[in-house]
Amino acid sequence: MNLKEAWQILQKNELKRTKNREVILEFFADNDRYLTASDVKDFIEENNPNISFDTIYRNLSTFTELGILEETELTGERHFRMHCDPGVHHHHFICTLCGITKNIPQCPMDLLSINLPNYEIEAHKFEVYGKCPGCIAS
Amino acid sequence: MNLKEAWQILQKNELKRTKNREVILEFFADNDRYLTASDVKDFIEENNPNISFDTIYRNLSTFTELGILEETELTGERHFRMHCDPGVHHHHFICTLCGITKNIPQCPMDLLSINLPNYEIEAHKFEVYGKCPGCIAS
DNA sequence: TTACAAATCGTAATCATTTCGATTGCGCGG
DNA sequence: CCGCGCAATCGAAATGATTACGATTTGTAA
């Protein structure tokens, strides 16, 4: 997803265009990988030293609810990234060093014949972890 | 895994048989589901009101390293359960209400033709979430 | 420009987890 | 059976991520 689409979604939901939201979204647009709330805070503080955690977490949660960002849990911390292709279900390879991702288009739920009668399936998680070519090289 | 096997592993690694370890392992042997450190603490404190988090977390980590327990992250908290069948790779359906699990013997890594040249795959996670028959009924 | 609600700030509270010095107790040798 | 050495534990405080909140600022629409 690009910045324009993100702002269209925000506008559609009557959310205001604020400086903080602009900076946060630009940061994700420029960084195609999973990032933490601290990463976002560190980046923003280069220019605006007075951003509060309230603002960061609230916006990250809002963006995730609207499908602008996607979220996962890595080593005990929430990580966020720009939602690659909203509407198209996919999974990720995730680099454990830099957080960069690579799409895995196939979904195990389509391939496995999971038979769970009387169970109610609500969600699933499939992620592959390792090192990306860039991190292996350096 | 049963208690006897667990103690064999501990003995093999020269770890002492303490009251706390006995209680923790019995708790997991009797509860076939994913549980948090707090769950363990609450249970132990019914009889021994003086157990420290140090002891709980240290033992849970030790047991996990030895393959006695398996661990996963659910809603931001570490969860542990007795390792079902050590040596046999498997995945889980996990009830989001009570933590009970059901084995999924197939592994998506065997079925998907994941082609990641120059990437180094180290691990993967596949979990299915929902409600178990027991929780649906009640 | 004004008004109002949304958004933010600054900071404190909360929650899970980790750490540490002091103490206890398991298991071995005598 | 006793005592020693070290693993294990205790008690409590520190840490790190996340959430909460009253006071203030800012975006937007009239």
Taking the Cβ of residue A103 and every Cβ of chain B, the question of whether any pair is shorter than 8 Å is answered with no
Q: What are the tokens at B137?
A: 């009924």
- Whether the beta carbon of A21 falls within 7 A of nucleic chain C: the reply is yes
For residue B62, give every residue at least 6 positions away whose Cβ sits within 8 Å of its Cβ, in sequence order, or none: B15
Nearest chain A residue to B115 by CA: give it.
Answer: A104
Closest to B96 measured CA to CA, from A123, A108, A89:
A123
Taking the Cβ of residue A14 and every Cβ of chain B, the question of whether any pair is shorter than 8 Å is answered with no
Please give the CATH architecture assigned to the domain spanning B3-82.
Orthogonal Bundle (1.10)
Q: How far apart are the first and last CA of chain A?
A: 29
Q: What are the tokens at B69?
A: 């327990």
Best of A120, A127, A138 to substitute, by most chain B Cβ atoms within 10 angstroms, is A120
Taking the Cβ of residue B73 and every Cβ of chain A, the question of whether any pair is shorter than 8 Å is answered with yes
Helix (H, G, I), strand (E, B) or coil at B124: strand
Summarised one tens digit per residue, pLDDT across range A39-59 is: 999 999 988 778 999 999 999
DSSP sequence for B4-48? HHHHHHHHHTT----HHHHHHHHHHHH--B-B-HHHHHHHHHTT-
pLDDT of residue B46: 86
Summarised one tens digit per residue, pLDDT across range B112-128 is: 777 788 999 999 999 99
Query: Amino acid identity of B81?
Result: R
For chain B, give every domain's residue range: 3-82, 91-137
Instruction: Summarize the confidence of residues A75-87 as an average pLDDT.
Output: 90
Mean pLDDT (chain A) is 93
CA A112 – CA A131 distance, rounded (Å): 26
Give the pLDDT band (50/70/90) at residue A112: confident
Q: Give A114 or A133, the one with higher predicted confidence.
A: A133
Name the nucleotide with the smallest C1'–CA separation from B73. C16
User: Which residue from B119, B122, B131 is facing A102, i.e. has the nearest CB?
Assistant: B119
CA B51 – CA B40 distance, rounded (Å): 10
A91-137: CATH topology is Dna Ligase; domain 1 (3.30.1490)
